[in-house]
Every structure is written in structure tokens, then in C-alpha cells.
Amino acid sequence: MINAVGRDIPEEILKRTGKEVFQGVHHFDGHVYRKHGPLTQAVINSEGSKLVDSIHDVLIKCGIKDGMTVSFHHHFREGDLVVNMVMEEIHRMGIKDITICASSLGKAHDPIVPYIEDGTITNIYSSGVRGKIGEAISNGKLKGLAVMQSHGGRVRSLVTGEKQVDIAFIGAPTCDDYGNCRGIGGKSNCGVLSYAMVDSLHANRVVAITDCLVPFPNFPAHISMTRVDYVVVVDAIGDPEKIATGAAKPTTDQRKLMMADYCTKFVVNSPYFKDGFSYQTGVGGASIASTISLAREMKERNIRMRFGVGGLTKPMCDLLINDQVDCLLDTQDFDLDAVESVKDLRHYRISAGQYADPFNKGAVVNKLDFVILAALEVDVNFNCNVVVGSDGVITGAQGGHPDTAAGAKCAIVIAPLLQGRIPAVCTEVTTVTTPGESVDVVITDYGIAINPRRQDLIEAMKDVDLPFKTIEELRNIAYSIAGEPEKVEFQDRIVGIIESRDGTIMDVVRQIKPFEFSEE
Amino acid sequence: MEIKKPAAAGTLESSDCQVTVEAGSGGIEFSLDSAVINQYGNQIRKVAFDTLKNLGVNNVRLTIVDKGALDCTIRARIEAAVYRSVGQTENLPWGGAIRS
């Protein structure tokens, strides 16, 4: 069945998942449903501690068995040790057919690939995967399905009960013996616990894992003891050097700086750039450079930002330090400056649900004026791909891409026209993650294309001195330099789906086919 | 042209390719390792064979390790490797066997 972005979603997968095809960004606006509540085991006794000796013992207490779903959060990024330590124990216990429901998985989790191959893990829900897990999935090693969810879409699936979690494991930088968790402090300081807040509300069992046990009460708690069943103390939950690195040096890549300048010029000439505007950006070199150049323009033009959202990095936190923004709303910290900034009283922690869940009564993304995003590929319909590499292998994550693009009044995608030889603007993306109806502007080093759906923006820019082109012109320039790429060949087997933030199917991902030269 | 000794050209930097030529065993033996093989593998092979044809090379083992080089780069690296293999570094046939 063809969905709203023109992708043919096979009946087989609709039947298997019980899902519908994607029918447009606002299809479910006004949708009424009843929230799903998790099992809850009351604690009335006053024996006073929820400490359990080991991961093994806590798995027993939680009744781990074949077929269960376990969840994790990714605030420790490439420094995460929690997923591997829990899955190693589950594997050692001989448990099979586990579904992992993680807010994201990265290269840090390469060690779980053997557990995919031997059937310990058979389904994966995640924002995305990188490294060897992506290769394993794309090569058909996962017996079940990989479901790629946006940050908001993940929350929706937990709140509606479409995805139910048996045991949530929450890596907590600090925790007391009764389960009050904080993202701040300890050895594995990650600043916030936004993704895990949702798991703590919706999982049947909630286990806090910490390497820094502090005296009760660990207040103000980011995740309350009232939602936590057990606490396990381990040697290390993360590698601090890989959790939050020093701030990335501002890029000196002239191509990225030029795109950042284009972006800033576009932003300041758009109707939304006025006192009290709101803004979110990612962590790519060009995105960070555009925040820096935007800060300069704001100062010169005496314009103040009302709030910034992230995924935060130093340049965003500098806005707070320099008093150019009223407040920051934070779901994740990417560098040490951002972690440090969490202590500022105008720096607010928000849950992934507050941030982006399309099925609550209005998320922060809906209040965004601008979001600056990246993409692996954008096609002539402005559909973006941020999950599957041009070679067909899963190698990225949805993150908040479709959420913020849907919410923001002006969603800008920055991408160099050629990434190596691969055209970033193409006729048809390998896999759709963010629908073109959400994407307003594409900025490349060879020119800027405004989505024809946004005649208002085209009108607003008509006297602005920027190299405007149509999206087809950008594609043609890319193809004239690199040659038109051949379509990647896939096998029939579906290994994953790209879930839209509303739970429908945006696209499917198939097993890759080894390359063979065509006949001469 | 006859390949006289093994020769190489190019690097493994992004957007470049490393080309090696060795004497063949009666034909063109082609091996390609490319970061973009799925999208451009056939195109790279076509460029390689066309370039060899222009140079009049038909007995060679040609190995390309490609990091996303454009056609012009691939052509230039093959030409450089072939002329190095015959020890010719001057009086190159610009506009002739080496097409601009």
C-alpha cells in the first residue's frame, strides 16, 4: 500500500506489525486514546532499602524470562556501559528472544552483536543504530524486526502501550538506596535523564543502576523513587571521556562555514526572526557554526531568543551565559559545557515526552520557530533520510529529526551537496525518515532550495541575496559532478521499519544484497 | 602499451583512489574495493576500462581502492600508474591517449 510519501509498504509487514501506513504529519491531530498503565508493585514495608547485590540478582527478582522487553536510555552516548553489562548477564543466563527497546544504540554497543546472532536478542526498538549492530541488522542477522523510532515516537509507543516494557534499566549518575536518580554528579555525569524519565513511568519494573550511591534523599530527584523497584551498584555505568567530550572546536571547514552563513542569512531574513523567537539545532559542524554566527547577528540587531531546545552544546549554552536567551529546554547534553550549564536555573530539564511526544497534549517541538537539521540524503520531494546509509546499511538515528521538523515553523536542513561522491540531494532517498511536508528549506554549498509548499517563505526571500535554486537544480548539479548513482539493490526480506512519530509506517528497510557488477 | 613493472598512483584519502597496475596474464584483470561500490561500481569499472582502452593497455592486473573519487580522478590515477609502470614521466600525450 502506497503511503503519503509514496513508499510502497508491503501488506506482509502491515499484517505482521498491525500498523497502518503513514498518511501525513497531521493525520492523528485530535486523536483520542486512553493511556496505558504499567504493572506496579506496592512497597509498604519500611525495611528501607531497594539495594540488590548484582545485575544477576535483580534480573531474577524482576522475573526475567524468554520473550521479555528490556529498555535502556542513551544519555551516556558512546560511553555507555549499561546495555552491554545487562545483556551480557541475560545472555549468560541463557534467556532468549529478548526485545531491546532503547532510546538509541551506538558503536559502544558493538559487543551485543553476538547476542543478536545467537537469538538472545530478536527484536530491536531504537532511534537508530550505528556500527556493527547496523551491519548485523542490514545483513539479516536479527531474527525479528528492527523498529526505528523518533524520540517523540518512542514516547508515544510507551504511553499508548503499543510497546510495553517489562524491565527498564536506568543508568543513574547518582542514586540513593531508595531509587532517587539524578543525571548530575558522580563519575558518569550526563546532566539530564530525559529519555529514561519516560521509561520510569511506563515500564513494569524499573531498575536503577548506578556507580555513585549517595545518602538518601538524592533530591531534587530527576527520576523519583516512587517509580523505581530496585537499585544496583556497579563499578562503572559509563566512560566519562566518551559521555560528554570537550566542546567541539568550531569548524574551520570553509564549506561548512559557508553553509552556516547561508543558514544565518536565511534565518535573519525570515519572518520568524524577531524578539522572542525559538530555536533548536543539532551537533553537526555546520549547525554549530550557524548557532555561532546567529548569536553574532542577534547581538548586532538587538534580537533576543525566548528559548532554545536541545540536544545542547556549548554554543547554545553560551547564549545563556551571554544573556541572549531567556531559557534552555534540555533533553540531552553533548559536551561538558552543556552538562555544566544544567546547574543554571534558567536551564530546564525536560522529559523526552515533553520534548517531542506527538500524542500528548502538546510538546515543546510544536512551539519551535526554527530547527536546523542535517541529513544523509534529501530527495526532490524534500523527504529526508537520516537512518540508512546510501549503501543501504542502517547507520544513523531518527533522533528528534521528524519531531522537530514537524513542529517547527521553519525546518532547515543543511547538507553538503556531495558527501564524498554521494549526492546528498537525489531523486529518491534510500529510505524516508522525515517526510518532505515537514521540511521547508535545504541549504547546500551549491545553493538553497525552498520547499514549493512554502510560497510564503519564497515570497519573503525574493529580495534576499542568497543563491536560491530549485531542489531539482541542486540534484542536477550533484549528478553532473558525481554521476547519477545507481539504486542500491536489496533482497526481499524486510529487516526493519522506519516508524513515523505517530506509529504508522514511513518506510521499510530490507536486507542488503552483496554488490555484483552488471553484465557488460 | 605493455605494463613493464608494477606501479601505483593515488592515495587513500577521501575522494581519492589508489590505483595499482601490474603485468597481466593475457587480459584485463580488474579488482575494485570502493566505499561507493553499490552506487558507482559499474560506472567506475566503465571508466577504468575506457581509460585502459585509450592507453592501449590490454594485458594488466588493475587494482583500485576507491574512497569516493570522481571519474576524472579515477582516470588520472590510472593514467599516472600506467605511465609510471613504463617509466615515462615526460612527453606525455596530453590530449591524445591522455584525454583532457
CA distance A494 to chain B (A): 19
- High-pLDDT (> 90) share of chain A, %: 95
CATH number at residue B47: 3.30.230.10
| Mean pLDDT (chain A, rounded) | 96
- The boundaries of the domain holding residue B53 are 7-86
CA distance A134 to chain B (A): 16
Report whether pLDDT(A316) > 70.
yes
Distances (CA, A) of A30 to A21, A152, A343, A444: 18, 17, 37, 36
Q: How confident is the model at residue A52 (pLDDT cuts 50, 70, 90)?
A: very high
Total domains, chain B = 1
Summarize pLDDT for A124-174 with one digit per residue, the tens.
999 999 999 999 999 999 999 999 999 999 999 999 999 999 999 999 999
pLDDT of residue A245: 79
The tally of CA atoms less than 13 A away on the side-chain side of residue A181 is 35
Contact check, Cβ <8 Å, A486/B38 = yes
Q: Is residue B82 part of a domain?
A: yes
How many whole angstroms separate alpha carbon A278 and alpha carbon A328?
10
- High-pLDDT (> 70) share of chain A, %: 100
Determine contact: B28 vs chain A, CB below 8 A: no
Q: How confident is the model at residue A244 (pLDDT cuts 50, 70, 90)?
A: confident
Q: Is residue B99 part of a domain?
A: no
Report whether pLDDT(B99) > 80.
no
Q: A288, A251 in Cβ contact below 8 A?
A: yes
- Only one residue has cell 504511553, namely A159
Q: Which of B38, B44, B49, B73 to mutate: most A Cβ within 10 Å?
A: B38
How many whole angstroms separate alpha carbon A288 and alpha carbon A264?
11
pLDDT of residue A14: 98
Cell of residue A412, nine digits: 532547515
Determine contact: B15 vs chain A, CB below 8 A: yes
Q: Is residue B97 part of a domain?
A: no
Report whether pLDDT(A276) > 60.
yes
Which one of A390, A481, A517 has the shortest CB-CB distance to B39? A390
Which one of A483, A488, A518 has the shortest CB-CB distance to B38? A488
- Only one residue has cell 557554526, namely A289
Q: Is residue B92 part of a domain?
A: no
Helix (H) or strand (E) holding A477: helix A471-482
Contact check, Cβ <8 Å, B38/A390 = yes
Preceding amide of A217 cis, omega within 30: yes
Q: Which of B31, B32, B39, B53 to mutate: most A Cβ within 10 Å?
A: B39
Q: Which of A253, A376, A421 to mutate: most B Cβ within 10 Å?
A: A421
Q: How confident is the model at residue A259 (pLDDT cuts 50, 70, 90)?
A: very high
* C-beta atoms surrounding A89 within 10 Å: 17
Report whether pLDDT(A213) > 70.
yes
Q: Is residue B93 part of a domain?
A: no
Contact check, Cβ <8 Å, A485/B40 = yes
**What is the sign of the dihedral through the CA atoms of A342, A345, A350 and A355?**
negative
Supply the ipTM of this predicted assembly: 0.93
Report whether pLDDT(A119) > 60.
yes
Report whether pLDDT(A337) > 60.
yes
pLDDT of residue A249: 79
pLDDT of residue A219: 97
Q: How confident is the model at residue B16 (pLDDT cuts 50, 70, 90)?
A: very high
A-B contacts (CB, under 8 Å): 51
Determine contact: A485 vs chain B, CB below 8 A: yes
Report whether pLDDT(B100) > 90.
no
CA distance B88 to chain A (A): 30
- Only one residue has cell 584483470, namely B29
Determine contact: A482 vs chain B, CB below 8 A: yes
Q: A417, A476 in Cβ contact below 8 A?
A: no
pLDDT of residue A282: 85
Contact check, Cβ <8 Å, A421/B36 = yes
Which one of B40, B42, B45 has the shortest CB-CB distance to A421? B40
Contact check, Cβ <8 Å, A390/B36 = yes
Contact check, Cβ <8 Å, B40/A483 = yes
Contact check, Cβ <8 Å, B43/A517 = no
Q: How confident is the model at residue A520 (pLDDT cuts 50, 70, 90)?
A: low
The tally of CA atoms less than 13 A away on the side-chain side of residue A244 is 26
Q: Is residue B43 part of a domain?
A: yes
With beta carbons under 8 A apart, name residues in chain B contacting A517.
41-42, 45
Determine contact: A515 vs chain B, CB below 8 A: yes
pTM, to two decimals? 0.95
CA distance B58 to chain A (A): 16
Give CA angle at A275 (A273, A279), nearest 5°: 55
Contact check, Cβ <8 Å, A488/B68 = no
With beta carbons under 8 A apart, name residues in chain B contacting A481.
70
Summarize pLDDT for A187-212 with one digit per residue, the tens.
999 999 999 999 999 999 999 999 99
CA distance B48 to chain A (A): 13
Which one of B15, B39, B42 has the shortest CB-CB distance to A488? B39
Query: B36 to chain A: nearest residue by CA?
Result: A391
How many whole angstroms separate alpha carbon A444 and alpha carbon A354?
32
Determine contact: B6 vs chain A, CB below 8 A: no
Could you say which residues from 52 to 91 on chain B have a Cβ atom under 8 Å away from some Cβ of chain A?
67-71
Summarize pLDDT for A461-517 with one digit per residue, the tens.
999 999 999 999 999 999 999 999 999 999 999 999 999 999 999 999 999 999 999
Q: A266, exposed or middle or buried, with CB in 10 Å at 0-12, 13-18, 19+? A: buried
Contact check, Cβ <8 Å, B41/A420 = no
